[in-house]
Structure 1
Amino acid sequence: MASSRDRQRKLARAKLDRQMARRAASARRKRQVRAGIGSAVALLLIVLGSFWALGGFDNEPTDDTATSEVCTWSSQDAQANTSLKDVGVPPTTNPPTTGTQPMTITTNQGAPVTVDLDLVAAPCAGASFAHLAGKAFFDNTKCHEITAEGAVRCGDPTGTGQGGPAYTFFSENVPNAPAPDPSATPSTSATPATDASASPSASAPPGTAPQYPAGTVALIGNPPGANGSQFLIFFKDFTTAEPRYPVIGKVTAGLDVIKKVGAAETMDNGSGELTKPKTDVVIQSLTVGEPASGDPTAVPSAATPSAAPSGSPTVAGQP
């Protein structure tokens, strides 16, 4: 029979074995936790490294339409063409694109003519006129032509139809061609016109609004689509089969002055055409004010925007 001492030794041994087992189990758990943490950290480093290698931490450019390039100015060589005047170019970004902008034309013919530039349909034209006006580009220049379409042509410092700034820009707001009149029947006896300038206008179907109603302000490019500083102020309604003048605004006051100029006597412009005003029409100053916020429809739109300018034959008095 085992002695009391032997039983105590066995109990102590069993207790020690249990303690050792618990300690071993605890150590295994700690090793497992540390191993798991190490694996997780290693995996995270691998993921982050791959993300960095693929450019994941690079700053992506934001799609900011407010700073996108909206207007494109095509430079012209003012040294090769002495009719051009280099006054720099307007900004290419952030032109005002809402509401209207007031433009005031003071001439030697009477009260100032005020115009609302349409910044919705023609923001780049508005930016260009604001830039040129800020350079006094139009001051003391002449409106050199009364066109066959019924408009006063201005904006050329040389008075020849060849002048402008040392840049051009695209057409933004060219009207659509008139819809054909379904009641009209072609004449078999009519002789086709050989010179489109002899009859620049085309009759629109009854009830159709003119593309260029009296008071419309439009650009005239040389060639069409290469716009600069020259512009037309229509003193009577005009519709054409092939519109090419981008509409930029509307006269809000002083149209009677433009009509008076349009009715004045003309003389030979140097090329055999009676289009030059006999009495000089001088723009004493042209200023462009701050854009006016508000509903852009406050300015009647004389044209439906066109993606590209329409070409057409040369009209009377245009180089």
Structure 2
Amino acid sequence: MAPSNQERAAREARTRLRDYQARQQAHSERIRRRVRDNVIAGAAVVLVIAGVTAAQIFYFDGGPGSPVASPAATSTPAPSSTDAPAAEGQNTGDVPPATLAENRSWTGTLTIDDIPLGIELDGAAAPQAVSAFIAQTQDGFFTGTSCHRLTTSGLFVLQCGDPTGTGTGGPGYNYGPVENAPADNLYPAGTIAMARQGGNGYSMGSQFFIVYDDTTLPSEPGIGGYSVIGKVTSGLDALKTGVIAAGTADGSTDGKPAAPAVISGVTVQ
């Protein structure tokens, strides 16, 4: 017996309903996948932005030895590191013993872009920092590395000693506390000091900076300023007319030097 028109219509209606429900389910699944993909993509973008921001903060503000300029010397000299309360923290990694500095002056040559700089290190005033610098020099740690940061406004430093050339590298250990920071926060031209992270007196490693023009750097309560390990005794004018005069690669007042600024050797005795 052939189905009636009503039965055929009912079957067709059921078929259309099933097709409609299947299409709706497929559509809903596509929407869920799209929402999921958008969430994942959004999270990835956030992570990338956060990573870039953190890298910039670490390099320019919180990385080892990013000195922050002070517009002028304070009217009341800050206490020297020997007068300030001991900074909390501890050495990490295989830090060279402070006795390597032998409580004496060391002389030598630091060569940057074939410009020999006569240097003198004060092992009595900054025994831990000078000992680390001597150990790194004797290991040839600095040879072939590039100075990665030049500042030309407010503070006047050339920062070196990072084997990665990024401002985030070091020798695999960190030490402190700050030693031999100037009581008046003034770092005269020719000063050689150790770089460190802001707020962390135990973050020194291998990065150091050469002050090529008088610069005032703030001292942090309970931490101090920056460990002065010595001074440039000759060749500073040649460095200023060479590497410094070339400016930064991007023309900014704080960035990678336009000149290669490669350290070809360091000797001390």
- TM-score when normalising by structure 1: 0.49
Q: Structure 1 residue 158: deviation in Å? A: 0.7
User: Hey, what does 1:284 align to over in structure 2?
Assistant: 264
Q: Does 1:140 align with 2:144?
A: yes
Distance in 1 between residues matched to 2:132 and 2:239, nearest whole Å: 23
> Aligned in 2, Cα 1:274/1:238: closer, same or farther, shift over 3 Å?
closer
Q: How many residues align?
A: 171
Task: Pick one of 220, 234, 247 that aligns with 1:253.
Answer: 234
AA at the equivalent of 1:91: P
> 1:167 aligns to what SS in structure 2?
coil
Distance in 1 between residues matched to 2:169 and 2:260, nearest whole Å: 18
Task: Pick one of 128, 132, 136 that aligns with 1:128.
Answer: 132
Q: Does 1:238 align with 2:215?
A: yes
> Aligned in 2, Cα 1:106/1:113: closer, same or farther, shift over 3 Å?
same
> 1:267 aligns to what SS in structure 2?
coil
Q: Which has the larger radius of gyration?
A: 1
Unpaired stretches in structure 1, ≥5 consecutive residues:
1-71, 77-87, 179-210, 290-319
AA at the equivalent of 1:221: R
Within-5 A mapping of 1:86-97: 88-91=94-97, 94-97=99-102
User: Hey, what does 1:75 align to over in structure 2?
Assistant: 92
Question: Which structure has more helix as a fraction of its residues?
Answer: 2
Within-5 A mapping of 1:151-170: 151-170=157-176
AA at the equivalent of 1:228: G
Show CA shifts across 1:211-269 (max 9, x none).
11100111111344211111111110012343722211011111113322222231239
> Aligned in 2, Cα 1:273/1:265: closer, same or farther, shift over 3 Å?
closer
Distance in 2 between residues matched to 1:158 and 1:95, nearest whole Å: 26
Asked if 2 retains the 8 angstrom alpha-carbon contact of 1:212 and 1:239, the reply is yes
User: Hey, what does 2:191 align to over in structure 1?
Assistant: 216
Asked if 1 retains the 8 angstrom alpha-carbon contact of 2:150 and 2:247, the reply is no
> Aligned in 2, Cα 1:275/1:73: closer, same or farther, shift over 3 Å?
same
Show CA shifts across 1:94-147 (max 9, x none).
33453311132122243x112110112101111101111111110000011112
> Aligned in 2, Cα 1:263/1:273: closer, same or farther, shift over 3 Å?
closer
Deviant stretches of 4+, over 4 Å: none
Asked if 2 retains the 8 angstrom alpha-carbon contact of 1:121 and 1:172, the reply is yes
State the identity as a percent: 41
Task: Pick one of 226, 247, 254 that aligns with 1:265.
Answer: 247
Asked if 1 retains the 8 angstrom alpha-carbon contact of 2:147 and 2:261, the reply is yes
> 1:142 aligns to what SS in structure 2?
coil
Asked if 2 retains the 8 angstrom alpha-carbon contact of 1:107 and 1:284, the reply is yes
AA at the equivalent of 1:101: W
AA at the equivalent of 1:215: G
Asked if 1 retains the 8 angstrom alpha-carbon contact of 2:95 and 2:175, the reply is no
Unpaired stretches in structure 2, ≥5 consecutive residues:
1-88
Q: Structure 1 residue 278: deviation in Å? A: 1.2
